[in-house]
Structure 1
Amino acid sequence: MARVGDIIDGKYEVLSLVGQGGMSRVWLARDRRLNKLWAVKEIGRTARDANNEVVVQSLITEANLMKRLDHPMLPRVVDIIEDGKTIFVVMDYVEGTSLKQAMRAAGRPMAERDVIGWGIQLCEVLEYLHSRTPPIIYRDMKPANIMLREDGTVRLIDFGIAREYKEGKTSDTKILGTRGYAAPEQFSHEAQTDARTDIYSLGVTLYVLVTGHAASKETYWRPIRQIDPRLSEGLEHIIAKATQANPDDRYQTAADMRYDLENHEKLTGAYRGALRRKLRLFGALRGAAACLFAVGASCLGASAYLRNTTYDAYLASARAASTDFAGADGASPAEGRYVDAIGVDPARTEAYSELVNRVYKADQDFSIAEASRLQGLMGAHLADVEGADGYAKLCYDIGTLYYVYYEQADADESRDYAMSAGIQAAQWFQAAVDSHDARASSGKGCALTASERSSAQVYVTIGEFYQRLSQATLEGFEGNVYEGYWQSLEEAFDGLSDDDPVMARLRLCSLINQAVSSPTYLNGFRRAGVARDQAQALLAKATQMAEGLAREAASSQKARRICDSIVSEGARAAAAENIARAYESAGATAPQKSAAHEGAGDGTSAGGAPARETAR
């Protein structure tokens, strides 16, 4: 087993023990080459120990699941090391304290406002997990597995007993879960866990946080306002519904639970009574409509008319609402109305498109919280909207949203988020290309312009480069991917026009500037056959364009910052020096190294490009 001071796999220096449980331990370690902190989960193999084998397989399952996930509220797995006796899984180190520790330190229940905010965030990450193909069921929601960061956001950790949902399966193979938090079906051989299992555990988690009572059958069936009368009726209703023993009586999706948490102040007895009366009236009208249907099919037209009218009303309300004021969950009133419209008719693309272009692009800053909400929304309605006429253009717009505006500035992990932005953008651009090509091949007409189709494919290639770069620590680069990346940079630059947004043009200039300012990338480009004068020429084009955009960029602080990082004397000098050193100090026949061995984890900035560094 590891000890403080050990060097794992020649590069991870063990600094301290941060947690342990059962047969596994979690260490804080420093990557000696990248000078970055990681969390390393360790478990030793024990010969002829069946229980140990279950834990080992659980750890391997956790690592394989997390390798496929990309969400800001989930840690990433970056390395898996096994020496025959011990398995080490290297993942993001999440700074902060668990909600269990936070409540213990406070010595009292947590504030209702905070608990509701955390509940909304956790619903969003559950929406993401449940929308994977196949869905991922977390199965171990509890305060100890939720990390609270200084900025008030939470991260979900420990996927040791998560599983993929298997359609048609009637029961789970193993009975796993934490007593008190686990749903009844987790301890039954006759039932299979699904999304509603996680909703149950989240309900218990909220109960524990807001009351301070331990999770047990003796306590959590008491309504929370019997414990603390100051708590809201709305939250009491939400927790009671989430923790029903019968899964059919709970919230059926995390999105439904999130909606009620966002509107908990409305969930009073009077409001629910009025809602029930409306539902009874609707039922009566529906019965009358059924009778009328026997007379003719006009009711179908009336139903469609009502749906369209409601949808259009929400759109009009969204267009008139503010995009600046944000509620407790960070969403503006306009965003809420667009989400309402999508709920009425998720197969129409207007509300999605206006949400992306009018709300998320409005301040030229697509935040992590906004990205999380958009992921959940698209995951919940993907099956409805992906066949719509405007789906390809919607995917193109979302790809642009990530590529141009997604950035976590002034954060320690901003470089990781930047690379994530490039990968996320590529996925949406690929969906745009696929949808466009499918429509064209079936004779339904083009969904994108020729220029948009070409640009989307270029950014797919760039995103694939980021994807390979992010996996380089595990696998290294196979083949010369730098050649394709260089070609994509040139094509992207040649494809720009004056009609493209200033931020889009600046972002590409920054991408080019930083790519040819990195000794790591320059060495890769040189080995791929890119000549020195080609690198200098592309850099000059990007710098010249940025200079031309300086006046237009003056109105935006972010745009000015990007522009200055390209045209400043220091930036110019560093880029020129690194190009010179890369081509003068290394021979043209230098052996190729994988990115994993030449510093693939070099810092990245906006758009996933490498941060500026000085050649050595």
Structure 2
Amino acid sequence: MEQRITENMGRSLNEHGYRDPVFVGKGSFAKVYRVRDEKRDFQACKISKVTEQWEQECRNSREICHPLFPAYREHWTDGEWGYLVMEFWDGCDLRKMLDMRGRLSPGQAARIALQITEGLQYLHERPHPFLYRDLKPENIRIRVDGRAGILDLGCLWNREQDWSGAGNRSFSAPEQFVPGEIPGEESDVYAVGRLLAVMLGDDTDGTVRQSVGIRRRNAEKRCGRKEQRQEKWLRKVIAMATCEERKDRIPEIKMLRTLLMVTDDSGRERKRACRAADFYYVRKLYCP
């Protein structure tokens, strides 16, 4: 599919009251256009082939209602193509931000991670809970007001559905790719840990990206004690979130949020947070 809207796609959008399509991005199976509705407000329209995954994303989008996820507007099919219209967020994805900046400060990384985990906690604590399973920088939108949001609901999964090996190898937990292995909250915890590491300058394989190595070292020289303390704490949280053994991993998003909330606090407050979390592995690894 070309970036330019085809004549048939333009006709289908016009029939449903959408004008002025502008290409804004693409994923593995779809392309996204900014369109104007009949009130001249911007909306996002995701166009892809009609597949089971597209149908599942439409169902998920209708069901999810939280400010960390774009609001559902409508969807329809036209021949082999599916159209999913959602709330439009102006900004850029986290991948583009990291490509431009190289890495984020510990404070910025913690703030983005806290917003993301708020959305994941909502998914996990619903009456019919979902696992997200596909957290990666391309699915995180940083809006013009600085707030983060989560895109792409095609990989949401609950235990009522058949197992499928969805996700991505660079960020998703190892158990998501083992046939018959049922992921849990700790699987999304793993992905947040990997995302935090990349925001702090690591490559997707855990090494420092060579292209930003010099900038990272210069930034570390300039940062004060507060940022050094923040990064030291976040590195410990990352280690606890990304253990290969599921039983040694931080077991739930709520507990991960508790630890992220004390990034700026003193050693005493961090110890208190560990006691409140009541997780032996956190207390074992924590060093004041």
TM interval, short-chain normalised = 0.7 to 0.9
Whether contact under 8 Å (2:54, 2:154) holds in the other structure is yes
1:547-595, Cα deviation, whole Å (9 max, x unpaired): xxxxxxxxxxxxxxxxxxxxxxxxxxxxxxxxxxxxxxxxxxxxxxxxx
Report the alpha carbon displacement of residue 22 of structure 1 after superposing the two structures with TM.
Answer: 2.8
- The match for 2:93 among 98, 122, 127 is 98
1:517-575, Cα deviation, whole Å (9 max, x unpaired): xxxxxxxxxxxxxxxxxxxxxxxxxxxxxxxxxxxxxxxxxxxxxxxxxxxxxxxxxxx
Report the alpha carbon displacement of residue 188 of structure 1 after superposing the two structures with TM.
Answer: 0.5
1:266-323, Cα deviation, whole Å (9 max, x unpaired): 58599759x79xx9xxxxxxxxxxxxxxxxxxxxxxxxxxxxxxxxxxxxxxxxxxxx
1:385-416, Cα deviation, whole Å (9 max, x unpaired): xxxxxxxxxxxxxxxxxxxxxxxxxxxxxxxx
Task: Name the counterpart of 1:39.
Answer: 44
Report the alpha carbon displacement of residue 232 of structure 1 after superposing the two structures with TM.
Answer: 2.7
Report the alpha carbon displacement of residue 150 of structure 1 after superposing the two structures with TM.
Answer: 2.2
Q: Any idea what SS the aligned residue of 1:15 has?
A: strand
Whether contact under 8 Å (2:262, 2:269) holds in the other structure is no
Task: Name the counterpart of 2:119.
Answer: 125
Task: Name the counterpart of 1:180.
Answer: 170
* TM-score of the aligned structures, taking structure 2 as reference length: 0.79
Q: Which amino acid aligns with 2:5?
A: R
Q: Any idea what SS the aligned residue of 1:208 has?
A: helix
Q: Which amino acid aligns with 1:62?
A: E
The structure whose residues are more often helix, as a share, is 1
Find out whether 1:201 has 2:191 as its counterpart: yes
Q: Which amino acid aligns with 2:195?
A: T
Q: Any idea what SS the aligned residue of 1:160 has?
A: coil
Task: Name the counterpart of 1:162.
Answer: 156
The structure whose residues are more often strand, as a share, is 2
Task: Name the counterpart of 2:243.
Answer: 244
CA RMSD of aligned residues (A): 2.7
Structure 1 residues 237 and 57: alpha-carbon distance in aligned structure 2, compared to 1, 3 A threshold? same
Task: Name the counterpart of 2:205.
Answer: 216
Q: Which amino acid aligns with 2:204?
A: A
Task: Name the counterpart of 2:283.
Answer: none
The number of equivalent residue pairs is 253
Q: Which amino acid aligns with 2:196?
A: L
- Quick one: distance in 1 between partners of 2:80 and 2:6? 18
Whether contact under 8 Å (1:40, 1:90) holds in the other structure is yes
Identical residues among aligned pairs (%): 25
- Quick one: distance in 2 between partners of 1:207 and 1:270? 23
Whether contact under 8 Å (1:16, 1:29) holds in the other structure is yes
Find out whether 1:112 has 2:106 as its counterpart: yes
Q: Which amino acid aligns with 1:263?
A: V
Whether contact under 8 Å (1:234, 1:265) holds in the other structure is no
Report the alpha carbon displacement of residue 161 of structure 1 after superposing the two structures with TM.
Answer: 1.2
In structure 1, runs of 5+ residues without a counterpart are: 46-55, 221-226, 280-616
Write the mapping of 1:38-437 to structure 2, written as runs, cut at 5 A.
38-45=43-50, 56-106=51-101, 108-166=102-160, 173-211=163-201, 213-216=202-205, 230=228, 232-265=231-264
- Quick one: distance in 1 between partners of 2:110 and 2:148? 12
- Quick one: distance in 2 between partners of 1:203 and 1:267? 22
Q: Any idea what SS the aligned residue of 1:128 has?
A: helix
- The match for 1:30 among 28, 36, 41 is 36
Structure 1 residues 94 and 4: alpha-carbon distance in aligned structure 2, compared to 1, 3 A threshold? farther
- Quick one: distance in 2 between partners of 1:218 and 1:191? 28
1:79-121, Cα deviation, whole Å (9 max, x unpaired): 1111232111111111111111111122x21111111111111
- Quick one: distance in 2 between partners of 1:271 and 1:80? 46
* TM-score of the aligned structures, taking structure 1 as reference length: 0.38
Instruction: List 4+ stretches of structure 1 deviating above 3 A.
Output: 217-220, 227-231, 265-273
Structure 1 residues 41 and 104: alpha-carbon distance in aligned structure 2, compared to 1, 3 A threshold? same
In structure 2, runs of 5+ residues without a counterpart are: 210-215, 221-227, 279-288
- Quick one: distance in 2 between partners of 1:197 and 1:267? 29
Structure 1 residues 181 and 248: alpha-carbon distance in aligned structure 2, compared to 1, 3 A threshold? same
> Does 1 or 2 have the higher relative contact order (CA < 8 Å, sep 6+)?
2
Structure 1 residues 232 and 39: alpha-carbon distance in aligned structure 2, compared to 1, 3 A threshold? same
